[in-house]
Amino acid sequence: MQPPEVRRDLLDALPDEHIETAYAKINLALHVRARRADGYHAIESLFVFAEDGDWLAGVPTDDGAIDLTIDGPFGEGLGAGQDNLVMQAARALQSYLGEQRGAALRLTKRLPVASGIGGGSADAAATLRLLARTWDVRIDAKELAALALSLGSDVPACVASVTQLVRGRGELLEMRDIEGLTRRPILLVNPGVAVSTGIVFAGWDRIDRGAMDATSLDALIVGGRNDLEARAMALAPEIGAVLAKLRSAAGVRLARMSGSGATCFALFDDPKDAARAATALRRDRPAWWVMETRIRAA
């Protein structure tokens, strides 16, 4: 086995085909409809993806070993062992394919951990995309979806990382082309707190407030909601402060919490308004994480 420092050297100055972006996932609306008999929750959610996210670099190796190093602003304290979703995804794909080659991987963690924007799920999906390409293998889309679901409920949608209506526990996906979403400016803000997805879902009040209308952006703004927002705010009141700031920004169309929190988002019509809001937040709340980006196209 090659020593880790040699493997890290392999990852420097890689061409684009050896690099994947793990695109941040945003729930424009998240309706929790029921708790299922298997313990999962039945949801309806409109997933969109930012143009930015974590970065994953990798090269194939001949010894069968999967090695992971982690850097980036949110990499400190994040384990690179077998419980990391990147490692789990790599091992799962390797085992499924009977692949004899290994990989040296480096995750640059740019998204906050446990923040409701799919960081770990997006990382796992990026691993599947990257290794399928660098190992030059073919895998059926349905087989890949099943493999992705075994890693986490959000991973199947993160494989394509395009706008989708997501139902069930995350296994029912419907691509959506909603006018006015693609390339729209979006601001992501996290107050510097992590909340547990499991604890937030466990605190859902079990009230079905109705189906989602995802036919248009206006329908998502007027009739959409995040059914986990109240529970997350009870655990992390800072979420309320973020939402108040975002909702008071000039030019904002929609501000809502994403996923189980604590990251919130704001949609804008004009990128100049988004830029001004980002500048003001960085000035007034320097401890908050702020990412100014756009909604990714297909």
Q: Which residues are the active-site residues?
A: 25, 154
With b for 16 or more beta-carbon neighbours within 10 A and e for fewer, the 24-63 pattern comes to bbbbbbbbbbeeeeeeebebbbbbbbbebbbbbbbbebee
